[in-house]
Amino acid sequence: MTKKYCVIGYPIAHSLSPAIHNTLYELYHLDCEYTAYPVDRKDLEAFLRQISARDIHGFNITMPLKRDIIPYLDSVAEHARGSVNTVVATDGKLCGYSTDAQGFYTSLRSIGADYSDQNIVFIGAGAVTGLLCADASRRNAKEITILGRTLPKAQNLAQNCNARAAGLDQLQAFMPQCGLLVNTTPLGMSGTGQDFDSLDFIDMLPASATVCDLIYSPSETAFLKRARKRGLKTMNGLGMLIWQAFYAFEKFCGILPTVEDYQKVLSKLKQGNQ
């Protein structure tokens, strides 16, 4: 019998998760299917009641439900206490995990960058920032700064992962010593109509800095383009997206896809964009 998996969130039509997982099912000859369900906060409880009837064995969660899902879970892994993106359904129990930090770090390492001994600045104070910040702290980052529009929110995240917090208006002050700059906000994302008011702060970064954006649509935001033109190493969010899906696939199917699988999935995604 075909095992069913899915991703939930809203909006969801743009999600690349079905393409990634269904490609993996083909590569590993698994009798599984992966779909996308549009689920908003008001629909979440109704969706969860239908899991058994729909014979769903696991699902991924995207915005805006990564925190909302937590009270409904029977267990949550320690690393995912603030944000869950993967749920495994076993014997009527829902177990929550997060593969976002793993996905980002694997992608970061693939371009020859790392957290270790780096001064890291995160632009944004959302749930994913908290996960990445905690992971960077565990991986021996030298200093971590979280910059947020709402200072108390940034401070709350910072106190949980050995970091400091400041307002987004203080951005320029942290650039000269920054070795890794990561944008976790939607600024510059296709369809939002919002972007940074100015990108002059990019010019204040050291020549050795790495600049990352969790956005993958467009493939190069104005933020990354400015950094690339300066000759800085850059990375968009597509690698993170694929690797977090691979780690979720491992939770679902017990198989961790390879670097070779990554190239095959990437090729499939590029074909779909043409």
Q: What is the mean pLDDT of residues 91-114?
A: 97
Handedness of CA 50, 54, 55, 60 (dihedral sign): negative
Which residues are 211's β-sheet partners?
181, 234
CB 80, CB 103: distance < 8 Å: no
* Residues 73, 110: Cα–Cα separation, whole Å: 33
Which residues are 121's β-sheet partners?
145, 181
Residue with tokens 């190239």: 263
Give the phi and the psi of residue 137 in degrees, each rounded to 5: -65, -45
**Which tens digits make up the pLDDT trace of 50-65?**
999 999 999 999 988 9
Asked if residue 272 has pLDDT above 80, the reply is: no
Q: Per-residue DSSP letters for 145-187?
A: EEEESSHHHHHHHHHTTT-EEEEGGGGGGGSTT-SEEEE-S-T
pLDDT of residue 273: 65
pLDDT of residue 241: 97
What confidence category does residue 237 fall into, taking pLDDT thresholds of 50, 70 and 90? very high
Q: What is the mean pLDDT of residues 168-186?
A: 97
Q: What is the mean pLDDT of residues 131-156?
A: 96
Asked if residue 118 has pLDDT above 80, the reply is: yes
Q: What is the mean pLDDT of residues 105-131?
A: 96
CB 93, CB 57: distance < 8 Å: no
* Residues 44, 107: Cα–Cα separation, whole Å: 31
Asked if residue 108 has pLDDT above 70, the reply is: yes
CB under 8 Å to 259, separation ≥6 — which residues? Answer: none
Q: 40 is written with which tokens?
A: 């908003």
Active site residue 66: yes
CB under 8 Å to 223, separation ≥6 — which residues? Answer: 183, 187, 188, 195, 196, 199, 202, 211, 213
pLDDT of residue 151: 95
pLDDT of residue 274: 53
**Which tens digits make up the pLDDT trace of 198-230?**
999 999 999 999 999 999 999 999 999 999 999
Q: What is the mean pLDDT of residues 1-7?
A: 96
pTM: 0.95
pLDDT of residue 48: 96
Please identify which of the residues 66, 229, 251, 264 carries the catalytic annotation. Answer: 66
Give the phi and the psi of residue 113 in degrees, each rounded to 5: -110, 170
Which one, of 25, 104, 91, 37, lies nearest residue 65 by Cα? 37
Q: 255 is written with which tokens?
A: 């198989």
Asked if residue 128 has pLDDT above 80, the reply is: yes
Q: How far is CA 144 from CA 38, 92, 123, 182, in A?
A: 35, 40, 11, 11
